[in-house]
Amino acid sequence: MFECTVAGSLPKPGWLSETNKLWPEWKSSGAELEQAKADATVLAIKEQEDAGIDIVSDGEQARQHFVHGFLEKVSGIDREHKVEMGIRADRYKAMVPQVVDAIALTGRVHANEARVARAHRRGKLKFTLPGPMTIVDTIADNYYGDKARLAMAFADLLNQEARALQADGVDTIQFDEPAFNVYMSEVKDWGIEALHRASKGLTCTTAVHICYGYGIKANLDWKETLGSEWRQYEEIFPALAASRIKQVSVESRNAKVPVDLLALLSGKDILLGCIDVASDDVETPEDVIDTIRRASKFVPKERIFPCTNCGMAPMRRDIAFGKLKALGAGAKLAREQLA
Ligand code: MET
């Protein structure tokens, strides 16, 4: 009970890339970069194991960004002529590549890091992929002409990579859908259908991660506009509860999400955000068990998996490691006191 896990990303070491950045430049190239990515993946696994994390990820060490890491291996995209686009309902402007032709995968996306991770990890291993709706909200479209159509096309590519990751021996595949908290009616119209398409045929554990974003300024400013209660989950949880996805990863620590909304996810495992990635204050194990205790009033204990609110990619490494240790220790405490 209370097996703990992470949303996915960990900070990258300074010898691999720039640090404290969401979209860092690599420090090397070619074979040297490939080796550095593999080394960082092994290190990310070791650090999670040392911190007592039960379901570890590759730390997303081999990708520059949680969406663009996937897009790098997709053809039909013009990366030369980027256009400005408002992302997440205009929360931020970004220069994004454009879809200009039918999309296809040019090869495996995460084969190297999946094999390295599997070779070094005896216990449970999780990999993350961006969700179709979040991808569509991060790229301009000059070809498909319809968001849902483009999402379904991406879902097919995600499914191809997800099946290959499963064959590599990955235990859990998580789709990251922060856009679900922004386009709530589209989630019901086609977002979940796209997730089903992306996860079709998978027999490993499937998860969807829905957060309020990384701890970057644009997100902190947005959260300020959401009022005293964040109720976005309320609109989408019933549809997710009826979906075929097994686990839902949510933000809870320091979030203004009413914890009783979790009851709407009946039947699902909850990856419960017990670690705030928008603050450098390192939680204590008691903070973690406190978040678990509050959620356990609305979620059966055996369905609670303590987790981070979101990825830790842009954080300081020492702080992220401190937070991982608190998460591992808090989950252990919960097993002793609440199980
Ligand atoms: N898997 C991603 C991460 O952990 C999730 C990002 S959602 C903004 O970084």
Q: What is the ipTM of this complex?
A: 0.98
pLDDT at 41: 98
- Calculate how far, in angstroms, residue 278's C-alpha sits from the geometric centre of ligand 1: 13
CA-CA distances (angstroms) from residue 189 to 136, 183, 185, 257, 303?
Answer: 15, 10, 6, 23, 27
- CA dist 66 and 57 (Å) reads 13
- CA dist 77 and 68 (Å) reads 12
For residue 9, being part of any structural domain is answered with no
pLDDT at 87: 86
CA 243 to the chain's CA centroid = 18
- Calculate how far, in angstroms, residue 179's C-alpha sits from the geometric centre of ligand 1: 12
- Calculate how far, in angstroms, residue 277's C-alpha sits from the geometric centre of ligand 1: 11
Low-confidence ranges of the chain (pLDDT < 70): none
pLDDT at 13: 98
For residue 39, being part of any structural domain is answered with yes
Residue of 10, 128, 220 to mutate, ligand 1, most atoms within 8 A of C-beta: 128
Residue of 10, 53, 60 to mutate, ligand 1, most atoms within 8 A of C-beta: 60
For residue 150, being part of any structural domain is answered with no
For residue 307, being part of any structural domain is answered with yes
Name the residue among 128, 122, 121 with its Cα closest to residue 44: 121
The closest residue, in CA terms, to atom 8 on ligand 1 is 213
Q: Per residue in 216-245, is it b (16+ CB within 10 Å) or e — as a string?
A: eeebeebbeeeeeebebbebbbebbeebeb
For residue 187, being part of any structural domain is answered with yes
CA-CA distances (angstroms) from residue 72 to 68, 79, 110?
Answer: 6, 9, 11
Structure tokens at 304: 């609670």
Q: What is the DSSP letter of 187?
A: I
Entry pTM: 0.97
For residue 12, being part of any structural domain is answered with no
- Calculate how far, in angstroms, residue 337's C-alpha sits from the geometric centre of ligand 1: 30
The closest residue, in CA terms, to atom 3 on ligand 1 is 311
- φ, ψ dihedrals at 104, nearest 5°: -155, 160
Cα dihedral 226, 193, 113, 44, rounded to 10, equals 30
First vs last C-alpha separation in the chain:
7
pLDDT at 215: 86
Q: Which domain holds residue 317?
A: 30-60+110-132+161-337
Can you give the CATH number for the domain in which 182 is found?
Answer: 3.20.20.210
Number of separate domains in the chain: 1
The closest residue, in CA terms, to atom 6 on ligand 1 is 311
For residue 308, being part of any structural domain is answered with yes
For residue 221, being part of any structural domain is answered with yes
The closest residue, in CA terms, to atom 1 on ligand 1 is 8
Name the residue among 113, 136, 150, 142 with its Cα closest to residue 38: 113
List residues near ligand 1 (CB under 6 A). 7-9, 60, 66, 128, 176, 178, 209, 211, 213-214, 310-311, 313
pLDDT at 216: 87
User: Tokens 């019901």 appear where?
Assistant: 188
